[in-house]
Structure 1
């Protein structure tokens, strides 16, 4: 009799407490995500900085800073905006300290505003500030 009660209690305990797996649902490191995003944008940023400031300018990705990322939700009414929340169009504002040579002191601060879509990256605004 005791063994039947023990088996029933053990069964209740097993079924009322779900098994917890060791896998982390959010296992993506924010730093890695940030760095990989900068790496994906790098060819576009490199081309823009070379065209706007000059081909002799360099920058370091580790020193770059993403100021903001905003999803562009299109539509005039709340219903249209809600419907278009899944649109993959973003406005990204980023900042880069540029220099000439091998890691010399920065000469300029470049602020880029980009439109990022599945079709590519387009420059919306470029601001250069001498340092």
Structure 2
């Protein structure tokens, strides 16, 4: 895995836009909808730096592989959890999200099985301004 983080230009975020991004980010995480992550990257202009592509591709891979409309996939819950951080990203904040889902139209007993997936995100701040964002590889399947 190459770049799994975006390092922002110093002026990219201020305190207000950092707080707005974190609020929007949390709302998107409550859906685990890969299309909404793309829209979030567009809204906050993450495209100016080439490293965004690997970060976004990793997020899309993790958040799109669970949903299957043919199986009637239903998102049951998204919750945050304390990361089991091994300090790969010392001094950074790592937020973990776990979502559970069920495939209601699957055959037989499989329609009653509850599945789960996880993803962890890395944040680094300087003077309350977001300066780095990425995906923690410890939670990548």
Same-fold status (TM-score > 0.5) = no
Relative contact order (C-alpha < 8 Å, sep 6+): which is higher?
2
Q: What band does the TM-score fall into relative to the shorter chain?
A: 0.3 to 0.5
- TM-score (normalised: structure 1): 0.37
Q: Which has the larger radius of gyration?
A: 1
